[in-house]
Amino acid sequence: MATRSSALSAFMVKELRHILRDRQTLAILLLLPLAQVVLFGFALRSDVNDIRIAFVDPTPDYATAALRARFAGNGRFRVVGTAPTTAMIEPLFRRGAADVAVAFDPGFAERLAEGTPARLLLISDASDPNTGSRMQAYANAVVSSYQAELGATGRAVQIVPQTRMRYNPTLESVNLFVPGLIALVLTLVAALMTAISLSREKERGTLEILLVSPLHPWQIIVGKVLPYLLLAFANVVTALLAAWVVFRVPFRGSLTLLLGASVLYSMVGLALGVLIAARTTSQRAAMLGAMAGTMLPNTLLSGMIFPISSLPGWLQPVTALIPARWFIVISRGIMLKGVGLAYLWQELLVLAVMLAVLLVAAIRSFKPRMA
Amino acid sequence: MRALRFLLRKEFLQIFRDHVLLGMLLVVPLVQLLLLANAATFEVKSARLYVVDHDHSTMSRGVVDRLAASGRFIPTAASPSVANADEAMLAREVDVILVVPVGFERDLVRDRRASLQLILNAEDGAAAAVTQSYAGQILAGYGAELGAEVSPTLATVAAADDRPPRRGQPVIEVRRRGWYNADLEYRDYMVPGILVALVTVVGTLLTAMNIVREKEAGTLDQLNVTPVTRPTFIAAKLIPLWSLALIDLALGLTLAYFVFDVPVRGSLVVVFVGAAVYLVAALGTGLWVSTVAETQQQAMFVTFSIMMIYLLMSGLFTPVSGMPVWAQWVAQLNPVTHFVRLMRAVLLKGAGLADVTRQLGILAVIGATVMTLAVRQYRKRAA
Amino acid sequence: MTLAIEVHELTRRFGAFTAVDRITFDVREGEVFGFLGANGAGKTTAIKMLIGLLAPTSGRASVAGFDVLTQAEDVRRRIGYMSQRFSLYEDLTVRENITLYGGIYGLTDVQIRDRGTALVERLQLGHASDDRVAALPLGWKQKLAFSVALLHEPAVVFLDEPTGGVDPITRRQFWEMIYAAAARGTTVFVTTHYLDEAEYCDRVCIMVDGRIGAMGTPDALKRESGLATLDELFVRLARPSAAAPAPAPAIGPG
């Protein structure tokens, strides 16, 4: 037994040295994920700004001018054109140069004065339903406030909701994306790098030498995988630091728990990488398998950007298979809500079970070669 | 030119013999498309509501009823304790807490104005904003209703209200219309984008691995010793995967049309012209990485990172207009941004060639730049 | 008598390590010229400079009458190369590899067909000409690579350790093919670390630590040094450096 464990540690040291020696790759593995977290943290926002608005004004008068001025003066909007007919602004939409349009019916001001409804049509480019309805809402708010100025205020009954956004009062997109980004980035390092590294050894035949050695298959896997675990951990720490220092993402819960969960999640990714390497016959296939399996599903089905509750009913259970989905709940819970083990034990358990399943499958895949 | 013919033949032979590669390139994106087409939406189906009613009045119950009747809110629990409600939200059992203070009805009748508290779980950000606006609309509607009841002689200022008010009250009636997507079908908007994303990821990765693989196998040296010119070599690396990616895109669009009813309001020719130019830019990026990287691991990692940037900063999932200015510039340099815009314009808005010249132009410039970089970077002789 | 290869003070440094140190020699047309040396002596680095894969740090060289630095493309058209590591496409068939390289070097379709058929016959690969190259045993692969290098009838062919790892019979066949090529007028520049093969060359050059230790016909070298075999000569030349081995660089010449 003593020989075995010293053999294992010698093996692990060798693997670590191997990675540390390849400076270029090491730099890429450490810096790129961090750069991504910072980049996307700054760039990804779900806010809608700079709404380009056009006007259709067949009979310009003081009221239409006033409303147009309201939009022009509103920081969210940018006026891109005015025309007498709807047909004339259509090309703007087709070219993607306008987002909303306000089409006044003729005789706007007259009708206002008379007290008959003065009509306008609020047109939005609904090809993007995500932003289309929000842009419409903003535009409607401008119209409503103008109307409130004009009309008798205080005649209506107003129920005023005082809204509080829990856990993320300012609706900072960053607070939502960063946990997801960390998950995505961890997946990259963990699954991909392990898959590539192992399958490269397989291709070169050096893995067979290892398998013939006194090392047990699980020891080989651990030895190969440990350096990447350390790398992944380094990535998590730097990403969290960036989140805290650069983006001021709150950290309301236990840092230890978060780091522990990150390690667990990384291990799941690593196990997945090992399994992919065991099952595929070339580096390229390993890479593609890891990529195809992780990139788009992680972005779309993990809850990172699009809420899981928005998914169609049949798709929601599928997301349970994606480790990132659970990790995002855990990391958001710890960072934004400040909850601890008591609330998150189920999600952690799921990750632990995934890890066990993947590890067993991976080890089993390597075993036949011993015979 | 003759050398190109022979090189192309070799590349195509290698591709078609690699069944795994073919599967990855042609099948995997399409399978993922089927799965993910429904995924990218912010729509909130319904929010679970926790009611803390301190007023116990007709009107407070009216609020809850209106919220429930809209179908967007499901009263899940109620109690007099806000602390319990907080617990429930912490445990992810409810999404919204409604707290109606004492004296709610009294304030409404006396002052025509009362407030209540709406606490939303903003863990999911976007969903919270949407829920907030739903709630706002419902409450405004209820307020209007109450206004008519409480003082029936007053005019109301609700949107899309059919009743004509009395003379003398200025009223603006707002009708809404969404162009190009009247049913607010998320799929129509997202499917073309997701398809592009899928094909791009696989195509660019394969291209990036290509040259590096020959480097690692040693066959690159053998080619470097021949009179094959650099542009010929790079072209031979680009064309096969480019044509396969184009076919992939065509298959995906067919799928989108028949399975997901994505409209095709413009000319498909324009889409494919755009695709042809776009793929040069996208795959060319992979080629350039391939000339720079030393190992397949590096090539893959760098390409993957570039892909992440391409996808996340293209306006596919988050709007470009919401990004800070410098990020918008990055988005402008991103071929995915422009091609997705082009596709959406043609498919959903019926745009023609003239409408998308700007996108085509930018794509052509990016493509030319990347390919030039690849050719210049590829050196037959090591310095 | 024209010179197929002219080398003057050719040098290559990798950082602080000098892999090839001011070597000067000539190779005549039709000669079989052997480049000998231990692993790491600089043979492959030298050959890579001559075929245009590596730029010299200083010095000049010309192959087939063209300068390797300034007229690289002209050089490439006139040379063939067989690398130390097998570098044909293993996922293509024998015929497909032949067609590819024939086409790249500008042979007509007729030429490709005819020469390809002749090649296959000569190597007795008729039964395997449509099999993937990966399926061939090592010896056949090497012979195929050599033949493909000669397909376009280059003026000079460079062979980097062509007989590494093959059995003695195949090695004999290889040298028969080399002689046949030389008889046709092709200059053969071959590197090897098998000292017995040196005896087969017209002239040899022994590299030690990047410099030329000895050069001449095998007989002349043996006579001058008074040794019976080139093997002993090599050991004597190599021993001073064996006492103080140079450290292996991080970016090695390979």
Considering only residues B77 and B163, tell me which one the structure prediction assigns the higher pLDDT: B77
Query: Which has the minimum average pLDDT: A255-269, B107-121, C169-183?
Result: B107-121
Q: Taking 80 as the threshold, does the pLDDT of residue A126 lie above it?
A: no
Dist. CA C142–CA A360, nearest whole Å: 43
Q: Which residue has the higher pLDDT, B265 or A214?
A: B265
Give the DSSP letter of residue A333: I
C154 in contact with B, Cβ within 8 Å: no
Q: Which residues of B touch A296 (CB under 8 A)?
A: 32, 36, 194, 197-198, 201
Pick the residue from chain A with its C-alpha nearest to B25: A288
Among candidates B156, B173, B178 on the partner chain, residue whose Cβ is nearest the Cβ of A118: B173
Distance of CA B241 to the CA centre of its chain: 25
Contact: B3, C106; criterion CB under 8 Å:
yes
pLDDT one-digit tens code per residue, B193-214: 888 988 898 889 888 888 888 8
pLDDT at position A154 over 60: no
pLDDT of B117 higher than 80: yes
Contact A301 B159 (CB under 8 A): no
CA distance to partner chain B, nearest, from residue C77 (Å): 6
A76: alpha, beta or left, given left = phi > 0 and alpha = psi -120 to 50? alpha
Which tokens go with B198? 């899928």
Question: Which of A36, A116, A130 should be substituted to probe chain B, the one whose Cβ sees the most B Cβ atoms within 10 Å?
Answer: A130
Give the start-to-end residue ranges of the domains of chain B: 2-40+184-382, 47-158
| Any B CB within 8 A of C54 CB | yes
Question: What does the pLDDT average to over B230-234?
Answer: 93
SS3 of B70, please? coil
Q: Please give, rounded to a whole number of angstroms, the shortest distance from the CA of B213 to a CA of chain C.
A: 12
Contact, C235 vs C63, CB < 8 A?
A: no
Lowest mean pLDDT among A3-12, A28-37, A343-352, B303-312: A3-12
pLDDT at B243: 94
pLDDT in tens, C130-154: 989 999 988 899 999 999 999 999 9
Predicted pLDDT at C194: 83
Give B 205-234 residues with CB within 8 A of chain C: 217-219, 221-229
Q: What is the pLDDT of residues B215-226, one digit of tens each?
A: 888 899 999 999
C96 part of contact set with chain B, CB < 8 Å: yes
Confidence of residue B181 (pLDDT cuts 50, 70, 90): low
Mean pLDDT, rounded, for A140-147:
79
Least confident residue range of A159-173, A218-232, B61-75, C47-61: A159-173
Give the gap in angstroms from C-alpha A66 to the nearest C-alpha of chain B.
13
Task: Read off the tokens for B107.
Answer: 């304030």
Residue A286 — very low, low, confident or very high, per pLDDT cuts 50/70/90? low
**Mind telling me how many Å the CA of B309 is from chain C's nearest CA?**
33
C212-234 as b/e: b if 16+ CB within 10 A: bbbbeebeebbeeeeeeebeebb
Provide the pLDDT for residue B275: 95
User: Over 50: is that where the pLDDT of A312 sits?
Assistant: yes
Tell me the chain C residues in contact with residue B222 when contact means C-beta distances shorter than 8 Å. 81, 83, 87-88
Each residue of B77-115: pLDDT tens digit?
A: 999 998 999 888 888 888 899 999 998 888 888 877 788
- Residue A163 φ then ψ, to 5°: -100, 135
Per DSSP, A192 falls in state I
The whole-angstrom separation of Cα A314 and Cα A11 is 46
Distance CA A139, CA C145 (A): 73
Average the pLDDT over A243-252 and give the result: 84
Q: Are B104 and B116 in contact (CB under 8 A)?
A: yes
* Environment class of B267 (CB within 10 Å of its CB; exposed 0-12, middle 13-18, buried 19+): middle
pTM: 0.81
pLDDT tops 50 at residue B154: no
Q: Which of B124, B156, B178 sits opposite A132 (nearest CB)?
A: B178
Shortest Cα distance, chain C CAs vs residue B303, angstroms: 25
Tell me the C-alpha distance between A63 and C164, whole Å.
92
Please return the burial class of A22, using the count of CB atoms within 10 Å of its CB with bins 0-12, 13-18 and 19+.
Answer: middle
Across chain A, mean pLDDT equals: 79
Q: Calculate mean pLDDT across residues A105-111.
A: 86
Q: What is the pLDDT of residue A80?
A: 92
The CATH classification number of B47-158 equals 3.40.1710.10
Q: How many residues does chain B have?
A: 383
| Secondary structure of chain C in HEC code, one letter for each residue | CCEEEEEEEEEEEECCEEEEEEEEEEEECCCEEEEEECCCCCHHHHHHHHHCCECCCEEEEEECCEECCCCHHHHHHCEEEECCCCCCCCCCEHHHHHHHHHHHCCCCHHHHHHHHHHHHHHCCCHHHCCCEHHHCCHHHHHHHHHHHHHCCCCCEEEEECCCCCCCHHHHHHHHHHHHHHHHCCCEEEEEECCHHHHCCCCEEEEEECCEEEEEECHHHHHHHHCCCCHHHHHHHHHHHHHHCCCCCCCCCCC
Alpha-carbon C116 to chain mean position? 22
Residue B54: pLDDT band (50, 70, 90) is very high
Task: Quick: pLDDT tens for B323-376.
Answer: 888 888 888 999 999 999 999 889 988 888 988 999 999 999 999 999 999 999
pLDDT at C252 over 50: no
CA atoms within 13 A on the CB side of B79: 9
> Per-domain residue ranges for chain A?
51-166, 173-365
What's the pLDDT at A369? 53
CA-based nearest residue in chain B for residue C83 = B222
Subunits next to A (3 or more Cβ pairs <8 Å) are: B
pLDDT attached to residue B183:
62
pLDDT bin (cut points 50, 70, 90) of residue A15 is confident
Query: Containing H/E element for A41?
Result: helix A23-43
pLDDT for res B294: 81
Query: For chain B, where are the alpha helices, taking DSSP H only?
Result: 2-17, 19-22, 28-36, 58-69, 82-90, 104-111, 126-150, 186-217, 219-224, 230-260, 268-292, 296-312, 325-332, 335-349, 357-377
**pLDDT (average), residues A168-197:** 75
The span from the CA of A342 to the CA of B361, in Å, is 56
What is the average pLDDT value for chain B, to the nearest integer? 84
Which chain A positions have a beta carbon within 8 Å of B361's beta carbon? Answer: none
User: At the top level of CATH, which class does the domain A51-166 belong to?
Assistant: alpha beta
Is residue B272 within 8 Å of B346, Cβ to Cβ? Answer: no
Residue A164 has pLDDT above 90, yes or no: no
Burial of C150 (0-12, 13-18, 19+ CB in 10 A): buried
Q: Mean of the pLDDT values across residues C61-73?
A: 93
What is the C-alpha separation between C200 and C235, in angstroms, rounded? 19
Residue of chain A whose Cα is closest to the Cα of B298: A25
